Amino acid sequence: MKKYAILLLALTIFSCSPNPETFIPHINGYWEIDEVTLHDGSIKDYNYNDTIDYFEINDSLTGFRKKMKPNFLGTYETSKDAETMQLIIENDSLNVYYKTPFATWKETILLASTSQLKIINQNKDVYLYKRYQPLDLEGINKN
């Protein structure tokens, strides 16, 4: 019986989800959608994105998300529109509450690392982002 208790304890410890606080330092920056897994299980790949998302979070866990359009000069075109956001840890999850003049909604960050960001929305669609890498046009011209 003691063996089963130890096994159950080990499974409980190793099956715990990561601490959502560890995601916060990785959110800031430029992200592009890599794929979306829709709530019905179908997957939509994004081979090309003409816009990327820019996230900026400050120390008070508030900030904004903006759509940016990279150009060939290495800069970005954007509008003045932004979605204000607040991060809140609830029930071992990192939730993002968005607000615009037109709507409010919530998404949950499932993963945030130096290279990936995974977010699920209220429709149960999962967005997998990859860190945006600008085109290296100088490297192309050298060949």
The CATH number of the domain holding residue 116 is 2.40.128.280
For 37-46, the pLDDT digits (tens) are 999 999 999 9
| Per-residue pLDDT band at 13 (split at 50, 70, 90) | very low
Tell me if 82 is assigned to some domain: yes
State mean pLDDT over 64-70. 92
| Per-residue pLDDT band at 81 (split at 50, 70, 90) | confident
Tell me if 10 is assigned to some domain: no
pTM attached to this predicted model: 0.79
Sign of CA dihedral 58, 92, 120, 16: positive
138 vs 56, more confident: 56
Tell me if 40 is assigned to some domain: yes
Can you spell out the DSSP letters for 70-115? Answer: E-TTS-EEE-S--EEEEEEEETTEEEEEEE-SS-EEEEEEEEE-SS
Across 17-26, 67-76, 94-103, least confident range: 67-76
Checking DSSP bridges between strand 29-37 and strand 93-99, what pairing results, if any?
unpaired
How many domains is the chain partitioned into structurally?
1
Tell me if 8 is assigned to some domain: no
| Count of residues in the chain | 143
- In single-letter form, the type of residue at position 27 comes to I
Q: What pLDDT shows up at residue 114?
A: 96
Domain carrying residue 43: 23-131
Distance CA 37, CA 34 (A): 10
Structural contact between residues 94 and 19, judged by C-beta atoms closer than 8 angstroms: no
141 vs 18, more confident: 18
